[in-house]
Amino acid sequence: MPKYLGNPLHSDADPSTVGVLLCNLGTPDEPTPRAVRRYLAEFLADPRLVELPRWLWLPILHAVILNIRPRRSAHAYQKVWTPEGSPLRVFSQRQRAAIANQFSAPPTPLTVTLGMRYGSPSIADALNELRAAALKRLIVLPLYPQYSGPASGSVFDAVSAVLQTWRWVPDLHFISSYFDAPGYITALANSIREYRSAHGRGARLFFSFHGLPQKFVLAGDPYFDQCQTTARLVATELKLSETDWQVVFQSRFGRARWLEPYADVTFAAAARAGLKIIDVVCPGFAADCLETLEEIAIQNAAQFQAAGGSALRYIPALNARADHIAALTSIIEQNLDTDPELTVR
């Protein structure tokens, strides 16, 4: 068996073919403890997420965490699961289909695939689908607007691991972030403006981003600064004053210090300070998922009310909104080769 995967269709005479790989985090196949355990085993074993020595971390993961967390997480997934399946997978598939439709006609038809960093459809399966099409140029777009090592960096690791097994490695363009892309900022502002127009304006708008251990930022990860920039650009477009909005960080795990202020703590403090209605948007999530639909919209909303607030109102992720698809399409177009002799499919 050959060491490297080839493709008999590849030759210098072939027209150059271009593929786009969209990537997101991933999801269990079912909201059951067994499926969640399988998903978490892959997710939490990634050294990009937990930078402890493998000899120390893996026994803790398999002996303790994977015997406790799957049942609790499965219960949370059950609260947001849809008849079509996991919200993240459903919305990601809709995004892929909508973006593919934008590139379905000349002059720039191309192949758009979806790969999840953990679970299915996997990045390896998506790339092999492109390899079968005699891929010569690859654009990778992780659907993480703000770069972080555990997210975007991990996608790069997974993509490069697959490409290392190919005999013919395509030209590669990796889009590491789009935190300040004009179309993305406008889509966020539009979604907030539309929500508040329909439901009224809360006392404060919170931009909640996924947390990250502080030691990662101290080691040079740009995530914190990019989150701040995104929030500030959206607030500026909405013409909000400095007291109208705040950045918070959610989803921390373990005992280490993570980026602050913590979302749950801040929301409870806002309720105790007399804020009755607050609005929360999660700009770092391209598609709604467990962290937005269960953690923010259910769990944090209940905690806010328990602390004296009336309503924590979650503004949905951009998902497959037309302006979001237009923004992502524009980002891809900016990274297409403009050589007039290039044939894309």
Equal fold, 18-178+323-334 vs 182-315 = yes
The reply to whether the predicted model has a pTM over 0.85 is: yes
CA proximity to 159, closest of 22, 301, 8: 22
What is the CATH number assigned to the segment(s) 18-178+323-334? 3.40.50.1400
Interval 111-147: pLDDT, tens? 999 999 999 999 999 999 999 887 889 999 999 999 9
Task: Name the residue ranges covered by the structural domains of the chain.
Answer: 18-178+323-334, 182-315
pLDDT for 342 beyond 60: no
* Backbone torsions φ then ψ of 41, nearest 5 degrees: -60, -40
Would you say domain 182-315 falls under CATH 2.60.120.260?
Answer: no
d(CA 140, CA 151): 13
- The answer to whether 73 and 36 have CB atoms below 8 angstroms apart is yes
Task: Mention every residue, 6+ apart, whose C-beta is less than 8 A from residue 276.
Answer: 203, 309, 310, 311
Interval 19-39: pLDDT, tens? 999 999 999 999 999 999 999
- The answer to whether 6 and 333 have CB atoms below 8 angstroms apart is no
**Exposure letters 119-131 (e unless 16+ CB within 10 A, then b):** bebbbeebbbbbb
* Backbone torsions φ then ψ of 98, nearest 5 degrees: -70, -40
pLDDT for 78 beyond 80: yes
Q: What is the pLDDT of residue 270?
A: 98
d(CA 270, CA 75): 28
Over range 222-230, report the average pLDDT. Answer: 98
Q: What is the mean pLDDT of the chain?
A: 93
Q: Record the tokens describing residue 30, joined without a space.
A: 């079912």
* Backbone torsions φ then ψ of 24, nearest 5 degrees: -135, 180
Interval 1-17: pLDDT, tens? 678 887 756 655 555 68
Interval 44-55: pLDDT, tens? 999 999 999 999
Q: What is the pLDDT of residue 337?
A: 61
